[in-house]
Structure 1
Amino acid sequence: MKIPSLICIILLSVFSPNFAQKDISSQISVIAEKEYPRLDELYKYLHANPELSNMEKNTSARVAKELREAGFEVTENVGGYGVVGVLKNGEGKTILVRADMDGLPIKEETGLPYASKITTKDDKGTDQPAMHACGHDIHISVLIGTARAMSQLKNQWKGTIVFIGQPAEEKVQGAYAMLKDGLYTRFPRPDYILGLHASASLPAGKVGYCPEYALANVNSVNITVYGEGGHGAYPHTTKDPIVLSAYLITQIQTIVSRQTSPLEPCVVTVGSIHGGSKHNIIPNEVKLQLTLRSYSEKVRQNTIESIKQICKGLAIAAGLPESKFPKVEIENETGFALYNNPELTEKVVKSLKSAIGENNVEKVPPVMAAEDFGELGKVEPPIPVCLYWLGTVAQEKYNESQATGLQLPPLHSSLYAPLPEPSIKTGVKTMTKAVIDLLADGSKKK
């Protein structure tokens, strides 16, 4: 082969799109490795110092500090303790990346050297243990790692990136609060919105994706069932709210089994029931707490209205006056189902595969857990969103679970302990690649 021909082949290879993609992925990997010691320190600080929903004062201050050091223009206290960091780099698209910041009122039992030993007050002033049992400490660490990578790779992209630390996700309040406080009027409105969530069922080093519906609507329902109490030895002289509550719990299950199509996901769970104070006293009231899950708005509304109808019907059947009909209180009046835009998801999946290899990217089924991430895109006009799953389980524990059927500690478990290093590095590599690729997308900014 002639030397000039060989040079031409080399030059064509170097400047081919595939080579360029590999080159960017390699640069991102180098940065992820270099930044990891600082990200590890950040993660362990966050893990040991969780703050509950709407109480994220110190966490948000740390996020703001880290984003400023990465070169972002930062605004604090957006929609509560929300943080918004903006980095502009010429003309182009705008991409928003979100991480949630709040912990959960759970006492950690992982035994990790950096385990949370925090006891704090919630927003009602009640003393509570606190733990990052949903991986939000991982999310923040990936956000900061991605921010540093994007800052160091400014020669590889043009446009604007908006990185946010969101409060109160566990109460499905923070996204709406930030929107209400001008997230898209005070700051650049994004063309695409990206996020990730820790997975307690995927091995660290892998990611999962789910196009279209991926997470469910959630409504919390408080029901007070009234009755006419009295002596337990004379139940015929009372109208027993405990018996009414038992009927109610049974009847509302027919909403799923007899009112909702078998093809439509729907969950009605009674998570709490409290009534009475002594063996031989029939109380005047019983309190129940329910969680409702669905994908479609039609199913969500039907479930709520059916609960109200069943409550009223049971009260009438028991002969209670209207003043003692059950009180039904609905929290989270809007739906939060996460719909991953299929076109955007397809683009993101290509980036994930180019960042960590096709074998490390899996399509996963939708789940009935809930997130308010999807609310960030439910504006007019709508903005495409995509959230993907980040594996956090040690490979040997995952293998053991697959071989024996032993249940891995799920999210919201006091035993959930993500494996930090491969998880955070994988998050930084995949998210950075996805953002750069979307900024380089040839379609014009709308």
Structure 2
Amino acid sequence: MVSPGPLATARAPGPALDAGVLARAGSLYRDLHAHPELSGREERTAARFAAALREAGCAVTTGIGGHGVVGVLANGVGPAVMLRAELDALPVAERTGLPYASTAGALDGEGRRVPVMHACGHDLHLAAAVGAAAHLDRVRDRWRGTLLVLGQPAEETLTGAAALIEDGLYERFGRPDLLLAQHAAPLPAGMVAHGSGPMTAGCVTLEVTLTGRGGHAATPHLCVDPVVLAATVVVQLQTIVARQVGPAEQVTLTVGSLRAGHHPGVIPEEATLGVTIRALSDRALDDVRDRVVRTVRGCCEAAGSPVEPVLQVVSRTPAYRGDPEVAARLRAAHERTFGADRVAWWPSSLAAEDFPLLADGIPSGYWMLGVVGPRQWRAAPGGSAAEKLAALPANHSPSFAPYAGLALPAGVEALASGALTALAPE
């Protein structure tokens, strides 16, 4: 993986990005990348983000909905625009070879030490949001209103947006007239991409607890083995999408975790599954969830489980569909900023976000930010863009490494020009 080169500015009308703004944003990005934190534990990240927002001219409030941060840049009477960025990282062992690669670790919910990495670009989002605030602070004569910059905790667990709302985010800071977010994606760095339909999927995460009858490994006939039961459930769940959902539906069902037992000679009492369902419609999401419940209960009954299974909804978020009028204005602004050849279309994706919970009832926009460097793009196998995209390290990969030299300036300008569609409309 090539290392990001020097920060470079993108083409844009109006005042160019200040070199000092970009240098500080780049320094913040590298620091956050080297020191990632898991969802709900973003204490250091929040503190660094808050300090950077203060340096950018914002009045800052911390500790919202956990480690949430809000920076306020007031500039007279006018509309309010909120930029959302995420604080948290993932339990992934980094393999990028970057000079600022993460070596961090943390205890997970089971008390096990796991590696931690910014494998989804949240560090880039935070640095770009700070850069956009600093840029808009320098060009106050071009706009009027209030810029709000939100650092959201626990996006990866799809719980942070709800926590912010429950803690009175909008009661304390007001409902913005426009809410904006962007997300790193394996597109050429310096590009942005907009969608015309659902940008992200709805998602339900379930924790499924299966109860057996524990005992000695030498007498399995006297037990109900929850490990075997869990294996049966995993296999049967895969038939839901393959055989019970129409092929035209965009749905995925993933068992991402299976936990059971502590000793090879002991049949445990319980097994726990982590299940994620994603779909582009609430109807499909509810249908598959109901099928999961029936399948799990049927497997437990067939195995002679002594206790009914427990299925708990850990988190839920709807699909995100942006306002078409807002999307058109944002796309036009980005075409003016970057040129039409650097603004692409993005297809509907089964990636999930809790941004829709923040955007409920608020005009909003969401776009993808390219992060792949030129040499990495050229070296990727494949003769077409689709083949190259399939071969490149995607989000959540241990090799995911944004080319910050192009991606960060583009992210700053994309947010700043997007905000100006409301703060300084033509």
Shared fold per TM-score greater than 0.5: yes
CA distance in 1, matches of 2:229, 2:28: 51
What secondary structure is seen at the aligned counterpart in 2 of 1:51? coil
Change (3 A) 1:340 1:237: same
User: In structure 2, what is the equivalent of residue 346 of structure 1?
Assistant: 328
Is 1:211–1:341's contact at 8 Å kept on the other side of the alignment?
A: no
Structure 2 letter corresponding to 1:411: N
Q: Secondary structure at the match of 1:163?
A: strand
Q: Which residue is equivalent to 2:397?
A: 413
2:310 paired with 1:327: yes
Contact 2:205 2:274 in 1 (8 A): yes
1:213 to 198, 220, 235: 198
Deviations 1:327-372 (A, max 9, x none): 222211x324222222211111111111111001110112212111
Question: Which of 73, 86, 98 is residue 87 of structure 1 equivalent to?
Answer: 73
Matched, 1:438 2:425: no
Where does residue 149 of structure 1 map in the other structure? 135
- Equivalences for 1:18-33 in 2 at 5 Å? 25-28=12-15, 30-33=16-19
- Aligned residue in 2 for 1:389: 368
C-alpha separation in 1, matches of 2:305 and 2:412 = 60
Alignment match, 1:12 = none
Distance between the aligned counterparts of 2:109 and 2:73, measured in 1?
Answer: 33
Partner Cα separation in structure 2 for residue 437 and residue 241 of structure 1:
56
C-alpha change, 1:414 and 1:262, in structure 2 (3 Å) is same
Q: Do structure 1's residue 296 and structure 2's residue 281 form an aligned pair?
A: yes
Give % identity.
Answer: 38
Q: Which residue of 1 aligns with 2:352?
A: 370
CA distance in 2, matches of 1:81, 1:236: 50
The 1:181/1:226 distance shift into structure 2, 3 A limit, reads closer
Cα distance in 2 for residues equivalent to 1:278 and 1:37: 52
Aligned position for 1:54: 40
AA aligned opposite 1:347 = R
Separation in 2, partners of 1:246, 1:229: 16
Rounded to whole Å, the distance in 1 between the matches of 2:81 and 2:257 is 41
**Deviation, structure 1 residue 230:** 5.8
Q: Are the counterparts in 1 of residues 212 and 225 from structure 2 also a CA contact under 8 Å?
A: yes
Q: Give yes or no for contact 1:275–1:285 (8 Å, CA) kept in 2.
A: yes
**Structure-to-structure mapping, 1:6-45, within 5 angstroms:** 25-28=12-15, 30-45=16-31
Q: Deviations over 1:288-312 (max 9, x none)?
A: 2222112222222222222222222
Q: How far apart, CA to CA, are the structure 1 residues paired with 2:373 and 2:264? A: 49
Structure 2 CA distance for aligned equivalents of residues 177 and 222 of structure 1: 19
Shift of 1:232: 6.3
Taking the TM superposition and a 5 Å limit, the aligned residue runs for 1:28-427 are: 28=15, 30-121=16-107, 126-199=112-185, 201-228=186-213, 238-275=223-260, 283-321=268-306, 324-332=307-315, 334-378=316-360, 382-403=361-382, 407-427=391-411
How far apart are 1:286 and its partner, in Å?
3.2
For residues 412 and 71 of structure 1, the distance between their equivalents in structure 2, rounded to whole angstroms, comes to 33
Question: Matches of 2:220 and 2:111 in 1, distance apart?
Answer: 39
2: CA distance, partners of 1:133 / 1:189: 31
Secondary structure in structure 2 of the residue aligned to 1:84: strand
Distance 1:121 1:248 in 2: 28
Range that drifts further, 310-319 or 411-420: 310-319
Deviations 1:253-295 (CA, angstroms, capped at 9, x unpaired): 3332344333322111122334466777655443322221122
- Closer/same/farther in 2, CA of residues 32 and 298 from structure 1, 3 Å limit: farther
Cα 1:238–1:173 change in 2 (3 A) is closer
Instruction: Give the 3 Å change call, closer, same or farther, for CA 273–377 of structure 1 in structure 2.
Output: same
**What residue ranges of structure 2 are gaps of 5+ in the alignment?**
1-10
RCO higher in structure (CA 8 A, sep ≥6): 2
Equivalent pair of 1:311/1:325 in contact (CA under 8 Å): no
CA distance in 1, matches of 2:110, 2:209: 21
Distance 1:315 1:61, change over 3 A: closer
Q: Is the 8 A contact 2:317 2:353 kept in 1?
A: no
CA shift for structure 1 position 211: 2.8
How much has 1:164 moved relative to structure 2?
1.0
Measured after TM superposition, the shift of residue 242 of structure 1 is 4.1
Query: In the TM superposition, what whole-angstrom CA distance separates every residue of 1:95-139 from its partner, at most 9, and x where no partner exists?
Result: 111111112222222221111222334577653322211111111
Contact 1:98/1:164, CA 8 A, preserved across alignment:
yes
Q: Are the structure 2 counterparts of residues 125 and 315 from structure 1 closer, same or farther at C-alpha, using a change threshold of 3 Å?
A: closer
Larger radius of gyration: 1
- Distance in structure 2 (CA, Å) of the matches to 1:280 and 1:59: 43
Q: Residues 77, 124 of structure 1: CA spacing in aligned structure 2 closer, same or farther, 3 A cutoff?
A: farther
- CA offsets 1:194-221 (integer angstroms, 9 cap, x no match): 011111x201111111133111222222
Q: Distance in 1 between matches of 2:415 and 2:130?
A: 11
**Partner secondary structure for residue 401 of structure 2:** coil
Aligned length: 411
TM-score, scaled to structure 1? 0.85
Secondary structure of the structure 2 residue equivalent to 1:74: strand
Q: Separation in 1 of the partners of 2:284 and 2:253?
A: 11
In structure 1, what is the Cα distance between the partners aligned to 2:226 and 2:105? 36
Q: Which residue of 1 aligns with 2:3?
A: none
SS in 1 for 2:245: coil
Residues 59 and 71 in structure 2, CA contact (< 8 A), matched pair in contact too? yes
Kindly report the root-mean-square deviation, in angstroms, between the aligned alpha carbons of the 2 structures: 2.5
TM-score by length of 2: 0.88
